[in-house]
Structure 1
């Protein structure tokens, strides 16, 4: 994924779940004696609990890109405070995230803990400016649960200098479906019949998909007096990246045994020609370039948009509204479309990063890094995971036959209105260091999406396949630092890409689309693309050597 893609995903995930979290300390709190034993750390936590009971609560300041929580008073917050002796105080993380982070960096006014998009240049800027402290020694001494939970992945968070400056959120490989083609089910039944609409396992070919959009437009030129839209996408945040999986394209092209820009993948040219066809034939939303997620959500919630391509979980909220408006069949459901020249086994819809979406980092403004690490260790522990993702034992879940068992009314409440339930209970509000997978008792850490998956997820599971999954952590962070000559080339190349994507898609003819594609490649090479690819290949091979693995291939 490109930088702005990852940034938008993080914002959607965290904001949609009302997720605000953090770690660190702004004052001297109780410390361990320096031993690595879990008993010592547990003893420290007991001391912090006593301190909290005596009113000796320490404050942790946190910046999180997902927004802010004004109060720290819900049941989960109270449990966190009781178990750690820490109260979390939030710096407003909503709105222009990178602008705020840059202002804090320039003024050195950042809080104890910052959450940084791992693919953003701001992440590198904070590290290069010396704003982040190294965590390796702290983890070794005060992070036994971090070491256990991250395991062999911990080495992959090391920077080129061998130090760890942040730990990932939503780490370890998640096999769950990611990007899907989502089609409004009630309308699809009218166009192709219920039997085909119910067959999520059988992909649509590219030609079938285009014909499907045409048939929809012919059958439903307007819906409720509004001109219908066969397909709309979030162009402002995602550009056309959501279509990469349809053609088996990944972040970088490795067909020539080196790292090259994805536009060099022969299938990329095929992809933009398909999108250009959709645009020229009036099937693509004419406003796609300027749409952000909020605008796209408004369009698909009003019921006159037939199809979109995006992360399947973002349809949850619109689907809730659509079902209320038009019944259980009025929602968006997941399907796979296979591009020409690609088999169903070669699609790459499910791009996942084992290192997560972003990093939790302790800054040099933190007055007590040891206490901050102790807090982070609890939040990263299995107990911390279940507390932040499931809620409070006895109130939101129980142990039944040695396993976590959610209270049905709590789960129903969250699925009915996740924002209101999260605000009331604290569930999913303070999550951090989230590990994909299951706990020791076999129950999933992420209760909401993994426990008895909703119908939205069930359709996605049917449409997706194991072959769609690939780990893009191998390709993350290969671009040179922005302050280097090669970093400037990378920015120029990215700007050229942003400039030409809408030119290719919105071209007046197929010939013009191809001409724009060739002009894009030419301008990228003039800007220094070959030199950039050489640097990224060098960085890639060095990264594989640090990790101790062979160069990765998604196919």
Structure 2
């Protein structure tokens, strides 16, 4: 069984230096010793040349994308022409733990895996190979991109198993349109003269007031409030709310004190009770969607695009298709805007992410991989500036243009394509812009252009509709991120990426605590009138049987390690 803890900083730095030095010297060194027995390849050991003969590998990720052969997309075809490599890409919705367990039980894996939250489980099963030797021999671009983060991605056993998705390059550019997880339909704000809405009570009162005035839309009842909690693996959407409403960023299930760095659970606190009691009261008024805890992702997004939902909880990455479809439909009043909602006026919101690095979300090569060398060379080629621009911007003069100042811009037509879900799939942006070795979202190229198109001010401005500008003007702001407080640096962020060794006390606590939330949140939100407090007390009794103090001590120690530079 592998030890899955990350290296202490001092040892990790030694590892990082050895990797970087190896990249600057000849390629005949031994490098780090690994247990990889799957490195057979059409590689000439003297020339380090790798065959570009056609080959197709299997790629697996958890998600709702449609399965595809990479070469059927424009980006995948261009990359295939460069390398000879194609990918059979499979995406599986549902419970990732169950799927990972099936893989492990069968002992057969796709060539590469994006394990999401199942990294510890796959490492424990020794399903992923170490990448050290492969990076040293074939990864100059990997070293360039991940060099500053080597201490964060190296395990205590000295091996690197995944390449994460958040390695920032060339600076840090804040997304001008970043938002929160609490949204309101724009026609609600418009109806009441674009009022200031900061507290949860103000937010729900506005929705209630609007629904009383307009109970139906196109002959169907409006839905006051819904939440993205019915999709397997997405329940954190509703459980994270107390943390955000209390003025903390997305650190998972803990709130970290800025001065003491103590990590405290919000589960079982007055914050959680206040949130659930608000849902309970909304339900008693007939304003909470009764399918909030059962509707899957497609059903939830269909409700959003119907125009019936007045407010909802959901992160942008969960509901992107619905947001794009609403924009494409052209009725700005039925679109949504996220707001910095908190419990009371004295709280400063913290929805905007500070600079961060997530070290337990990435792509790894499995022990079943047919040719790890071809795969690592593909990844290295993907990490050139040219190909990073391809997977984000596309092709010059086709999907974007360059103005006389050297700035990347988009025409109305190019922008419409970038916002069209089907075009994004056909072109390949839906498949290549995230779950691969990549530059982090906030990266900046050497020429000053943003890595992500919508972080480019010129593109963000063109992307605004008349309705966008009217709303921004009404609130006296220039971009949607201006609704929110500026992010505050948190050296540990995000705490949810702190790895819990499989079957450790912390891992077991996490699972049992989450199970309790999934059991009791629907009971509490949908409780009959007068029964909320009794159900809450039952919940607290069961929660009290868990070792919350031990988990908090573990998380506090890990947070303090990160503050001290030890990942």
TM-score by length of 2: 0.76
Give the deviation of 1:427 after TM superposition: 3.8
| Deviation readout 1:212-254 (Å, 9 max, x if unpaired) | 1221121012222222222111122335235232222443134
Residue of structure 2 in register with 1:217 after alignment: 211
Residue of structure 2 in register with 1:507 after alignment: 527
Residue of structure 2 in register with 1:4 after alignment: none
CA distance in 1, matches of 2:92, 2:44: 29
The answer as to whether partners of 1:315 and 1:332 remain within 8 angstroms in 2 is no
The answer as to whether partners of 2:188 and 2:310 remain within 8 angstroms in 1 is yes
Aligned Cα RMSD in Å? 3.5
Label 1:298 to 1:154 Cα distance change in 2 as closer, same or farther (>3 A). Answer: same
Give the deviation of 1:463 after TM superposition: 2.0
Give the deviation of 1:109 after TM superposition: 1.3
Give the deviation of 1:361 after TM superposition: 0.4
1:60 is aligned, of 53, 57, 60, to 57
Residue of structure 2 in register with 1:348 after alignment: 351
Residue of structure 2 in register with 1:452 after alignment: 459
The answer as to whether partners of 1:390 and 1:406 remain within 8 angstroms in 2 is no
Residue of structure 2 in register with 1:185 after alignment: 186
The answer as to whether partners of 2:41 and 2:373 remain within 8 angstroms in 1 is no
Give the deviation of 1:315 after TM superposition: 5.4
Q: How does 1:63-142 map to 2 (within 5 A)?
A: 63-66=60-63, 67=65, 68-70=67-69, 72-91=71-90, 93=92, 97-117=96-116, 120=117, 122-142=118-138
The answer as to whether partners of 1:480 and 1:536 remain within 8 angstroms in 2 is no
1:30 aligns with 2:43: yes
2:432 is aligned, of 425, 430, 433, to 430
Residue of structure 2 in register with 1:359 after alignment: 362
Residue of structure 2 in register with 1:18 after alignment: none
The answer as to whether partners of 1:397 and 1:404 remain within 8 angstroms in 2 is no
Label 1:470 to 1:447 Cα distance change in 2 as closer, same or farther (>3 A). Answer: same
Label 1:265 to 1:396 Cα distance change in 2 as closer, same or farther (>3 A). Answer: same
User: Where does the alignment leave 5 or more consecutive residues of structure 2 unmatched?
Assistant: 1-37, 469-477
1:377 aligns with 2:396: no
Residue of structure 2 in register with 1:253 after alignment: 255
For the residue of structure 2 that corresponds to 1:90, the secondary structure is strand
For the residue of structure 2 that corresponds to 1:507, the secondary structure is coil
Give the deviation of 1:114 after TM superposition: 0.8
The answer as to whether partners of 1:168 and 1:356 remain within 8 angstroms in 2 is yes
Residue of structure 1 in register with 2:29 after alignment: none
CA distance in 2, matches of 1:480, 1:230: 38
Residue of structure 2 in register with 1:526 after alignment: 545
Residue of structure 1 in register with 2:9 after alignment: none
1:143 aligns with 2:139: yes
| Deviation readout 1:160-197 (Å, 9 max, x if unpaired) | 4342211112444774324243222224322x12xx26
CA distance in 2, matches of 1:268, 1:323: 34
CA distance in 1, matches of 2:121, 2:382: 26
Residue of structure 1 in register with 2:420 after alignment: 417
1:205 aligns with 2:199: yes
For the residue of structure 1 that corresponds to 2:160, the secondary structure is coil
2:449 is aligned, of 443, 447, 458, to 443
CA distance in 1, matches of 2:323, 2:91: 29
CA distance in 1, matches of 2:184, 2:56: 47
Q: How does 1:328-339 map to 2 (within 5 A)?
A: 328-339=332-343
For the residue of structure 2 that corresponds to 1:89, the secondary structure is strand
Residue of structure 1 in register with 2:238 after alignment: 240
CA distance in 1, matches of 2:108, 2:208: 54
CA distance in 2, matches of 1:312, 1:71: 25
CA distance in 2, matches of 1:146, 1:504: 48
Label 1:59 to 1:217 Cα distance change in 2 as closer, same or farther (>3 A). Answer: closer
CA distance in 1, matches of 2:104, 2:548: 30
Label 1:245 to 1:95 Cα distance change in 2 as closer, same or farther (>3 A). Answer: closer
The answer as to whether partners of 2:124 and 2:502 remain within 8 angstroms in 1 is no
Give the deviation of 1:107 after TM superposition: 1.6
Residue of structure 2 in register with 1:36 after alignment: none
| Deviation readout 1:364-408 (Å, 9 max, x if unpaired) | 222443332222122123222112222234544456568463563
For the residue of structure 1 that corresponds to 2:545, the secondary structure is helix
Give the deviation of 1:515 after TM superposition: 4.6
CA distance in 2, matches of 1:548, 1:264: 30
The answer as to whether partners of 1:74 and 1:426 remain within 8 angstroms in 2 is yes
Label 1:348 to 1:409 Cα distance change in 2 as closer, same or farther (>3 A). Answer: closer
Label 1:346 to 1:319 Cα distance change in 2 as closer, same or farther (>3 A). Answer: closer
1:295 aligns with 2:299: yes
User: Where does the alignment leave 5 or more consecutive residues of structure 1 unmatched?
Assistant: 1-24, 34-39, 550-555
Label 1:160 to 1:291 Cα distance change in 2 as closer, same or farther (>3 A). Answer: farther
Label 1:296 to 1:90 Cα distance change in 2 as closer, same or farther (>3 A). Answer: closer
| Deviation readout 1:101-158 (Å, 9 max, x if unpaired) | 32222222112211110xx2x2111111111112234334432222222342232122
The answer as to whether partners of 2:400 and 2:414 remain within 8 angstroms in 1 is no
Give the deviation of 1:205 after TM superposition: 2.7
2:283 is aligned, of 279, 284, 291, to 279
For the residue of structure 1 that corresponds to 2:79, the secondary structure is helix
CA distance in 2, matches of 1:534, 1:416: 45
| Deviation readout 1:56-104 (Å, 9 max, x if unpaired) | 2233332233442135144322321232232223345456654433222
2:503 is aligned, of 460, 473, 483, to 483
CA distance in 2, matches of 1:337, 1:272: 15
The answer as to whether partners of 1:247 and 1:338 remain within 8 angstroms in 2 is yes
1:168 aligns with 2:164: yes
The answer as to whether partners of 2:69 and 2:87 remain within 8 angstroms in 1 is no
